[in-house]
Structure 1
Amino acid sequence: MLATGAATAVRAAPAIAPPDAAWLQAVLERFAGFGIKASGGAGDTASGVWLESDLTALGFRCERQAFQVPYAEVREATLAVDDRVAPVFPQALVKTTGVNGLTLPLKLAGAGGVLDGAIALVVLPFGRWISMAQPPVDLALADAFDRGAAAAVVVTTGPTGETIGLNVSATKPGFRRPVVILAPKDAEPFLAAAKVGATVTLTVDAEVGKRSAFNLIGRLDRGAAQTLIVTTPRSGWFTCAAERGAGVAVWLSLAHALTAAKPGVNLEFVATSGHEYIYLGGEQYLEHHAPKPADTRLWVHIGASAAARDWHELATLRPLPSADSQRVLTATPDLLEPTRAAFKGLNGLEAVYEANKANAGGELVNVIEAGYRSAIGLYGGHRFFHTAGDDMRCVSGDLVQPVAKAFRAAIDGALRT
């Protein structure tokens, strides 16, 4: 069924250069329609099958690079005090409480003191949170558990009031006790409870383990000495319509355009899973499959929030027709000028920084450190980043179109250098 649907989508959306906004809109809607993109889950797998069908129709030889990822199928995840019950997001790597939950005093972690026999409430400062590895998160949790906390509830204070899922390493030991995320909009009664050490019940009932996920790797061999690699992640905690969908739409438009253009390089297009486990899929591809640096003409990485909608912060968030400027573009020194020329006038992207460990983000950091000499990469974090609210309100074909055109121009410029 998935393959048939994908083939229909391919026939309905012929290659267009420059990319057409309506075509991009259809790609975005298709991607969002697969639902939650947690690595190895139904939405992630279905999106990979769809993209595989599209690349195959363009003539790419496709393969799936399989690897194992953690997962949690949640049956119940709640925090309750008196008659107030709020949903919580079990933070990976998920540790359960059992069906009966933990009924213990709730205490503010920031107040100091012993936390033995208590659940710690960690309230983060305002930010667009990304990862458990960020020091304000990691250090606060380590400190709470060092002081004896039996579990931790993290309030991800951010621009929407929603729960923000945090990326986490799948290869490093996680915290041995339950950690959950509580939406700021739901936090008030629990803040009041924590101030007086009131008893709450935290329940995390889930099936946890590991399952298979895959990177989609499509190669179009032109018999050239070098290869153009174009990568984008497709997985994430929620639906990821703007976070991942915008990059997928740019990536797919480039596959269509470059197949037709026939540049003098081989093409390798990669859509990775495992992104929310701190670039696990990208690391797997880089380590086991990617062409060597000497055999690579250019590596283009299209990361998060490539073309997410901006919002006015008034009494309520109100959508704007423009893109969120919290997106960052980097390029290696040899490509700074052509990349700046290609992205001129695109807010947040016109200031192109040198791609190095300090400036590059996402999977491109590993690419640079692995010795790839010519690279362009984008990353960002829009208002609904890592939240369940990242749906089709947050992105459109009109927002993606100028970014897709700019990437095409930047690639053309890079291949001429």
Structure 2
Amino acid sequence: MKDRIADIIAEYDAQGIHRTGTDVDIASAAWLAERVEALGLEVKRDRFDFERVDLGVNRIETAGLAVDGVPLYDAAFTASDGVAGRLGPVGSDAEIGVALVSSRGGGEAHRRVDEAREAKGTHEALVLVTDTSFPPGGVAIINAERFTAPLGPPALQVPNDEWPALEAAMERGERARVTVDNRYVPAEGINIHGCVAGRNPDLAPVVVMTPRSGWWSCASERGGGIAVWLEILRDLAANQPERHVIFTANTGHELGHTGLDHFLAARSGLVQGAHMWVHLGANFVASQGGAPRLQYSDDDVRAAFSRCLEADVAEPFEAPAGTRPGGESRNIFDGGGRFVSIVGGNALFHHPDDTFPSAVDLDAAAGWAKVFVRATRAFAGG
């Protein structure tokens, strides 16, 4: 099992940058479909149209500095000549607000940025510098939760390499030009679905879901979920369960869960109609800062899942049952469904250094695969 998991994560990582609707994302969908078909299941390639961000010039320039970055995908964009003005902290009266932020979210800096995005006219542009807890040389990108309804002024995300120089320029109130010049182009997203038929089709199904897209190669963030998803599928394909088990791997995660939204919109009764949702979320195989966290819809689910936890994994943190979870299981929570979900911490969250093998704990991946195989069997009556 451990070797199979390593192969899956290595292949996924090697494919490149997994942003939704890009050539890599489309090729990765075909790869995953082939992996499912090799296990004897029929695959549905569920396609949907959306507007993808086609990147142009994304840069901040001062008198002595030019730094390229990545746009905030759910904010406005500039024209080709950008926005010029004074640099100052987010929340000040400067035309260009600057903040040091983490892709993990939370904290005072994110609160100030959110307020600036909500308040019209506070800043003409934002510069969001990757927190210095991340390695230099890359942007730890913030998810575009409002992708379908962009909010706030143009925002540029930049690596922390030049933070000392930017901070000094900001403190002096220097002028800068921020260009976030991108366009939307028609694109296609692809979700991958399969189903292991159960012995009793009258019973409510189990759904096993994992996201399959992200900002970079996402070895530990996304690769672990995909590998464990395939291990569960492999087991149930060889051991027919009592209930149907639906498998879905959805694109669009980093863009406000657009792929999952598409999946759910086409199946209006499934959130509450499913017997159980099993969510394989982000980072639970990360080798750095990867403390796994289990999330449950209710105490009954927690008790059932706990019976499947054995010595295969270190004792995880458990969020209080019934609290709104992180990750895509929140869509199930909001719809009133029953679920178990695993997510985790990651020192390289949304950073380009999240690559195989250094960012991945294969022992943890294999351990959690065994746990979730047992749990899904139990939920499905296998």
Q: Same fold (TM over 0.5)?
A: yes
Residue among 293, 299, 303 paired with 1:333? 299
- Aligned match for 1:368, one of 308, 325, 333: 333
Alignment of 1:116-131 (within 5 A): 118-124=95-101, 128-129=104-105
Task: Evaluate the alpha carbon distance shift between residue 195 and residue 294 of structure 1 in structure 2; reply closer, same or farther with a 3 A threshold.
Answer: closer
Match of 1:385 in 2: 349
Partner of 1:400: 365
> Which residue of structure 1 aligns with residue 68 of structure 2?
87
CA distance in 2, matches of 1:400, 1:309: 10
Specify the alignment match of 1:185 in structure 2. Answer: 161
Deviates more, 1:326-335 or 1:380-389: 326-335
Alignment match, 1:139:
115
Q: Secondary structure at the match of 2:326?
A: coil
Q: Is the 8 A contact 2:242 2:381 kept in 1?
A: no
Shift of 1:44: 1.6
Match of 1:146, SS state, is coil
Cα deviation per residue 1:97-156 (whole Å; 9 max; x = unaligned)?
Answer: 34443343222224x3x33xx2221334x673389x96443114334x532x22111123
Instruction: Supply the distance in 2 between the matched residues of 1:349 and 1:70 (Cα, whole angstroms).
Output: 42
Residue aligning to 1:316: none
Q: Unpaired runs of 5+ in structure 1?
A: 1-19, 312-323
Sort the Cα spacing of 1:210 and 1:355 in 2 relative to 1 into closer, same or farther, 3 A.
farther
RMSD of aligned residue pairs (Cα, Å): 2.7
Distance 1:347 1:155 in 2: 35
State TM-score, norm by structure 2: 0.88
- Once residues 33 and 271 of structure 1 are traced to their aligned partners in structure 2, the CA distance between those partners, rounded to angstroms, is 19
Match of 1:310, SS state, is coil
The answer to whether 1:285 aligns with 2:263 is: yes
Residue of structure 2 equivalent to 1:209: 185
Q: 2:276: which partner in 1?
A: 298
Aligned length: 375
On the 8 A contact 2:42/2:194 being kept in 1, the answer is yes
TM-score normalized with structure 1 length: 0.81
Report if aligned partners of 1:70, 1:170 keep a CA contact under 8 Å in 2.
no
Distance 1:361 1:93, change over 3 A: closer
> Alignment partner of 2:17: what SS?
coil
Can you give the 5+ residue segments of structure 2 that lack an aligned partner in the other structure?
none
The one-letter code sitting in structure 2 at the alignment partner of 1:412 is R
Moved more, 97-106 or 275-284: 97-106
Q: Is the CA contact 1:305–1:327 (under 8 Å) kept in the aligned structure 2? A: no
CA distance in 2, matches of 1:87, 1:325: 32
How far did residue 355 of structure 1 move? Answer: 4.2
